[in-house]
Structure 1
Amino acid sequence: MKNLFSAMLLTGLAGAATTARAQSTVEFGPRLGLNVSTVKESGTPDPGSGFSQETKSIVGVQVGATLNVGINDNFSFQPSLIYSRKGAEFIGKSDFPFNPAYKTSIEATATPKIGYLELPLNFVYTFGGHDGFQVFAGPYVAMGVSGEGSAKATINTNDPDLQMALGGMTSFPATLKVEFGDKQNDNANNNNTSTNPGTLTATITVKRFDAGLNAGIGYRVGPFQAQLGYGLGLVNFTPKDTNGNDTGAKSYNRVFQLSANYFFGGK
């Protein structure tokens, strides 16, 4: 995957340089935007009856720069280099038979936020020539460079003994650490290593590299460009277990992206 990232980076730069020598329309400018991301999962073990799980989208930012290289009056090649934050909120609910005479349930949430250094390589068609409505598509590769998040467990019960044991507490927050690796860390569990003695720390492991396809629509007026796209992750970022065995679980990034560019240069 590391070789693929390097190869696509070199291909994008070489293609942009070759086209730039042949054309006079070369522009460069900042790119800012928002992500609405989630994670598509499959192959996770069935936890059994009494358990439910859902995944919600979260909002992240993207910031970087884009090179616009005109190929002809309508087509252009737009490689970008951006920092893009993705992730999701995972919510699990389960009945807990602590005492069959009472009702107890547990709800756990985890919200990992992963920062990627991403290289989209988009080909853009503008119907009006330089300005107007656009469609675009292309591949992307990405490398995880940062990760953080939050987690929380909430216990609801009418069991007086359990309520007393909990000391009146029903919510237990945790700091979520994200590490990168090809297999799960042996210590990737809840522990009390947080700098705050009252807060637990949970650690999750994800694979560092991602790749997929982008497609969408846009509009350009003068040096301004706005685009709405969808990113389809094609690389499973769930690592192997601590013994290096495939767990069968698969996780893929899915993200809606709204971005804006301002280009300098050109004819």
Structure 2
Amino acid sequence: MKKIMFTVTAVMAFAFSNAQEVKFGVKAGVNLTTLTGDIEEASSKVGFHVGGFAEIKLSDKFSIQPEVLYSTQGAKEKGEFEFNGDVYDVEMNYKLAYINVPVLAKYYVAEKFSLEAGPQIGFLVSAKGKATVLGNSEEDDIKDGFESIDFGVDFGAGYDFTENLSVGLRYNLGLANLAKDAEDYKINNSVFSLSVGYKF
């Protein structure tokens, strides 16, 4: 992880020192998230993200875009448990919140249309699990069961309506195992996001 942080810092330092133009902005949007891996019968849930970014233009076609985003993620999982010989349906709602820091290489394939890809580091802010059985719900803090740092890769595309207003579609492929102290159990983040950005 230290090597990743050092690499990201080095890339950003190089980008700023060679920038032709730097624009700052804010963005917000919706997430469609789930958890993949050994989790059974997981389904997607809707969340949101909000934060800021800097677009560091190195040329007319190429730029580096670091971001800092607050992002709500997670998934829903259906299962069963047995009690006194009876089997009950249970739904688990995983509510995760991260501070995500993607650093994207952005290439303009046309004047207003760009493709982007790059690494993302996520810092877990909170993790709650809400279990619902027979219409009754109980929510617990489950942060101790999740790793505090996530790592993944982002792929996406963007379109600039004007010099200031843009829209973006992105997929985050989680690579780090989120399950803490679990050797044989793996879960990963999977997030589609649609956002609107405004550059100043």
Q: What TM-score, normalized to structure 1?
A: 0.69
- Alignment partners' CA distance in 2, 1:136 and 1:234: 18
Pairwise CA distance, 1:124 = 1.2
- Alignment partners' CA distance in 2, 1:172 and 1:227: 39
- Amino acid paired to 2:130: S
Pairwise CA distance, 1:94 = 5.3
- Alignment partners' CA distance in 2, 1:5 and 1:119: 12
- Alignment partners' CA distance in 2, 1:137 and 1:253: 17
- The answer (yes or no) to whether the contact 2:31–2:49 under 8 Å persists in 1 is yes
Pairwise CA distance, 1:12 = 4.8
Match of 1:238 in 2: 179
Q: For residues 205-247 of structure 1, what are the alpha-carbon distances to aligned partners after superposition, in whole Å with 9 as ceiling and x for unaligned?
A: 1111111100012211221111101100000011125xxxx2x
Q: Percent of pairs identical after alignment?
A: 30
- Amino acid paired to 1:7: F
Match of 2:6 in 1: 7
- Alignment partners' CA distance in 2, 1:143 and 1:133: 30
Pairwise CA distance, 1:8 = 4.9
Mapping of 1:116-195 within 5 angstroms? 116-129=98-111, 132-154=112-134, 171-180=135-144
Summarize the Cα distance change of 1:115–1:219 in structure 2 as closer, same or farther, 3 Å threshold. same
- The answer (yes or no) to whether the contact 1:9–1:119 under 8 Å persists in 2 is no
Task: Kindly indicate whether residue 18 of structure 2 is the aligned counterpart of residue 19 of structure 1.
Answer: yes
- Alignment partners' CA distance in 1, 2:48 and 2:114: 23
Pairwise CA distance, 1:172 = 3.1
CA RMSD in angstroms, aligned pairs only:
2.0
SS class of match (1:88): strand
Q: How many residues align?
A: 199
Task: Kindly indicate whether residue 190 of structure 2 is the aligned counterpart of residue 254 of structure 1.
Answer: yes
- The answer (yes or no) to whether the contact 1:112–1:176 under 8 Å persists in 2 is no
Match of 1:214 in 2: 154
Mapping of 1:187-206 within 5 angstroms? 205-206=145-146
- Alignment partners' CA distance in 1, 2:179 and 2:26: 32
Larger relative strand fraction: 2
Question: Unpaired segments of 5 or more residues in structure 2?
Answer: none
- Alignment partners' CA distance in 2, 1:9 and 1:126: 22
Which structure would you say has the larger Rg? 1
